[in-house]
């Protein structure tokens, strides 16, 4: 007996909100990508908890795929950040206004 399933949902919800907060409020591209990582981690916690709740392996399989997608996303995202830094010399998204 661990805990009710709702507590897992509430924990993951708070973690997801922290990730959204980080992605929305911070003015640094690296911190924005970190916020996305926190959100993906919260989603995988829910999947593993659901796998235990229904005693089925499907949730763990999806947590594994979330891991792979997070790795792909962060590699391309960081390459984009380095590319933007080389062109503009800044991490601040407010500086990227060359279309103005």
**Is residue 79 within the footprint of another protein (CB under 8 A)?**
yes
**Is residue 48 within the footprint of another protein (CB under 8 A)?**
yes
Asked if 76 and 49 touch (Cβ cutoff 8 Å), the reply is: no
In degrees, to the nearest 5, what angle opens at C-alpha 25 toward C-alphas 64 and 78? 45
E-strand ranges in 5-67 read none
Say how far residue 11 (Cα) sits from the centre of its chain: 15
**Is residue 31 within the footprint of another protein (CB under 8 A)?**
yes
Binding residues for another protein, rule: CB under 8 A, are: 1-11, 13-15, 17-22, 24-28, 30-31, 33-35, 37-38, 41, 44-45, 48-49, 51-53, 55, 57, 60-61, 63-65, 67-76, 78-83, 85-87, 91-92
């Amino acid at each position: 007996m661990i805990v009710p399933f709702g507590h897992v949902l509430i924990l993951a919800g708070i973690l997801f909100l922290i990730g959204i907060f980080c992605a929305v409020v911070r003015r640094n591209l690296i911190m924005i990508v970190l916020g996305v990582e926190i959100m993906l981690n919260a989603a995988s916690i829910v999947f593993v908890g659901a796998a235990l709740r229904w005693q089925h392996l499907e949730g763990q399989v999806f947590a594994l795929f979330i891991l792979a997608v997070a790795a792909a996303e962060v590699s391309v995202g960081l390459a984009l950040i380095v590319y933007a830094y080389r062109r503009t010399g800044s991490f601040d998204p407010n500086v990227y206004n060359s279309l103005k």
